């Protein structure tokens, strides 16, 4: 529902200042986090030899289908609330919010997992205890939140500088590593040597390398032109694919699988094997920078979803308030605080591999939902689309089946044992979904009733009229 009373004043609205470089950096930076280095290891667990690159390539090609799906959906609903709107139109408004809140947990999970991995790297290099590493994480979260609160221009500038530096630095050191060893790669096409189960799992986890890149659609109201978001959706996966592929080849070339699997900082192992202490410090600096591009990008996109949801009366109206820099400040602060709490839980439990499985499952599931939305809205919404997915019906049907299958594959995987199944990832998702549904069913109706009451009070009342002798009407004084 629309609630003008809950919306910010017209003097404070989101500003259209995001260009293509910033949108690409936002999309890429949120996905290419420190946890992507762990993601590459997870893919390599199911891909023999150096064949992880092949799974990453297949995953990247599949993600280009996702780019097309979300480009069409964003074209229909180019707002910060787009995710909720097209799911609501295709499935139902309440279901869309339950799905949306569950989906938003991906951003927090990525930030929290990244926080732990960066903390582990800090502890390893600086030889600091876990609690002091956590203090560093809180400081980095505060820096990212502070940059966001200063406005979209500063946040976008920071995102661009950090993201492109991370991609370039990771790629350059990976190339150095590959040429440092030389020779042929071991089993570069060994992906299919362990049977179909390993192939499916490797591809499912390769999707996690691109996880959350599509969240850039929540910045649609701040893009200078509608085409900016579409370009970002297609360019970002290519950049992620390039950096992740080079890193996977370097890791397979230099670091034994038994050493990299289970390590919280495989990128440091690769750096050390390449250039010794210099290489370790190189990748340590890259790891610290991933904190800024992931935290900053996560706060930027998720806060806009929260803002738009509150603006429509489905969250407390305070989340729709903007500061003088046109930033939903309470959403940013809440995301930073929640991420710090979840990161503390991960620090205490060391369950970062579980977050990889949970994130991969949610991402695959939302891609399946997006595929269904394209199919449903092609029938329900006949408006002209700024972007149309070619061969939409067969491709979206293929995506619906494939992503559902991949979601089940990753949701039933054992994060600690590649050869066993586990209900733990899908159980975690079920708990998040139940909490989201409970909020939508129990809390949201009260908020919407309050928003409707405020709108009724704020609506101008018409003064009574009386008929004049000439048959016209006039206001009663």
pLDDT digits (tens, 9 = 90+) for 280-334: 999 999 999 988 888 888 898 889 889 988 888 888 989 988 898 889 999 999 9
Cα 100 from Cα 330, distance rounded (Å)? 19
Q: Is 14 among the domain residues?
A: no
Sign of CA dihedral 34, 37, 39, 41: negative
Structure tokens at 169: 């630095």
Whether the per-residue pLDDT at 184 is higher than 90: the answer is no
User: Which of 87-101, 360-374, 404-418 is the least confident region?
Assistant: 404-418
Most confident option among 106-110, 343-347, 454-458 = 343-347
Domain that holds residue 177: 20-461
Secondary element (H or E) of residue 55: helix 52-76
CA angle 136, 21, 62 (to 5 degrees): 90
Q: Is 234 among the domain residues?
A: yes
Cα 189 from Cα 344, distance rounded (Å)? 40
369 DSSP 8-state letter? H
Structure tokens at 275: 């250039």
User: Which of 128-137, 197-206, 223-232 is the least confident region?
Assistant: 197-206
Whether the per-residue pLDDT at 167 is higher than 90: the answer is yes
186 DSSP 8-state letter? S
Structure tokens at 412: 């039933």
Q: Is 118 among the domain residues?
A: yes
Cα 307 from Cα 328, distance rounded (Å)? 6
Cα dihedral 12/14/18/23 (nearest 10): 150
Residue 281: give its domain's CATH number. Answer: 1.20.1740.10
Whether the per-residue pLDDT at 3 is higher than 60: the answer is no
Question: Domain count of the chain?
Answer: 1
The pTM of the full predicted model, rounded to 2 decimals, is 0.84
Q: Is 34 among the domain residues?
A: yes
Q: Is 12 among the domain residues?
A: no
Please, which residues have CB within 8 angstroms of residue 230's CB and are 6 or more apart in sequence? 71, 74, 75, 386, 387
Other C-beta atoms within 10 Å of 7: how many?
21
Q: Is 472 among the domain residues?
A: no
Cα 9 from Cα 382, distance rounded (Å)? 33
Q: Using an 8 Å Cβ cutoff, are 444 and 238 in contact?
A: no
Beta bridge partners of 349: none
Sign of CA dihedral 167, 170, 175, 178: negative
Whether the per-residue pLDDT at 66 is higher than 60: the answer is yes
Q: Is 82 among the domain residues?
A: yes
**Pick from 225, 168, 136, 227: nearest CA to 28:** 168
Structure tokens at 382: 């006949």
Q: What is 277-342 written as a DSSP string?
A: HHHHHHHHHHHHHHHHHHHHHHHHHHHHHHHHHHHTTSS-GGGG---TTS--HHHHHHHHHHHHHH
**Pick from 67, 15, 385, 4: nearest CA to 220:** 15
Alpha-carbon separation of residue 160 from 19, 129, 174, 457 (angstroms): 11, 32, 21, 44
Q: Using an 8 Å Cβ cutoff, are 158 and 296 in contact?
A: yes
Mean pLDDT of 71-80: 91
Q: Using an 8 Å Cβ cutoff, are 368 and 400 in contact?
A: yes
């Amino acid at each position: 529902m629309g609630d003008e009373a809950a919306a910010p004043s017209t003097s404070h609205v989101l500003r259209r200042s995001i260009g293509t470089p910033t949108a690409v950096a936002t999309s890429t930076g949120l996905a290419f986090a420190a946890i992507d280095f762990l993601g590459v290891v997870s893919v390599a667990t199911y891909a023999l030899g150096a064949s992880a690159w092949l799974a990453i390539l297949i995953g990247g090609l599949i993600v280009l289908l996702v780019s097309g799906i979300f480009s069409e959906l964003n074209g229909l609903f180019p707002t910060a609330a787009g995710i909720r709107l097209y799911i609501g139109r295709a499935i139902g408004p309440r279901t869309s919010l339950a799905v949306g809140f569950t989906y938003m947990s991906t951003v927090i999970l990525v930030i929290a997992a990244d926080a732990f991995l960066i903390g582990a790297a800090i502890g390893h290099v600086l030889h600091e205890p876990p609690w002091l590493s956590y203090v560093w994480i809180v400081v980095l979260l505060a820096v990212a939140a502070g940059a966001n609160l200063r406005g979209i221009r500063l946040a976008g500038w920071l995102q661009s500088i950090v993201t492109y530096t991370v991609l370039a630095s990771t790629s350059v050191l990976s190339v150095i590593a590959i040429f440092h060893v030389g020779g042929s790669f071991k089993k570069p096409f060994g992906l299919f040597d362990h049977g179909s189960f390993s192939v499916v799992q490797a591809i499912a986890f390769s999707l996690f390398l691109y996880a959350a890149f599509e969240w850039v659609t929540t910045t649609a109201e701040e893009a200078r032109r509608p085409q900016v978001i579409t370009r970002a959706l297609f360019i970002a996966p290519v950049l992620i694919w390039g950096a992740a592929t080079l890193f996977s080849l370097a890791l397979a070339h230099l670091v034994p699988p038994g050493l990299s699997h289970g390590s919280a900082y495989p990128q440091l192992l690769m750096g050390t094997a390449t250039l010794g202490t210099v290489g370790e410090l190189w990748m340590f600096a890259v790891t610290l920078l991933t904190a800024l591009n992931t935290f900053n990008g996560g706060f930027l996109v998720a806060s806009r979803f929260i803002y738009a949801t509150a603006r429509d009366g489905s969250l407390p109206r305070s989340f729709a308030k903007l500061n003088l820099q046109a930033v939903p400040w309470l959403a940013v602060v809440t995301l930073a605080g929640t991420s710090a709490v979840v990161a503390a839980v991960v620090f205490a439990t060391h369950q970062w591999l579980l977050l990889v499985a949970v994130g991969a499952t949610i991402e695959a599931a939302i891609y399946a939902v997006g595929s269904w939305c394209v199919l449903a809205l092609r029938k329900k919404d006949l408006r002209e689309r700024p972007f149309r997915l070619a061969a939409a019906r067969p491709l979206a049907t293929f995506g619906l089946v494939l992503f559902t299958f991949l979601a089940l594959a990753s949701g039933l995987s054992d994060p600690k044992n590649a050869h066993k199944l586990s209900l733990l990832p899908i159980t975690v998702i079920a708990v998040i979904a139940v909490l989201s549904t409970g909020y939508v069913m129990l809390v949201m109706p009260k908020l919407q009733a309050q928003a409707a009451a405020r709108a009724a009070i704020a609506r101008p009342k018409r003064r009574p009229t009386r008929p004049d002798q000439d048959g016209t009407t006039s206001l009663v004084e």
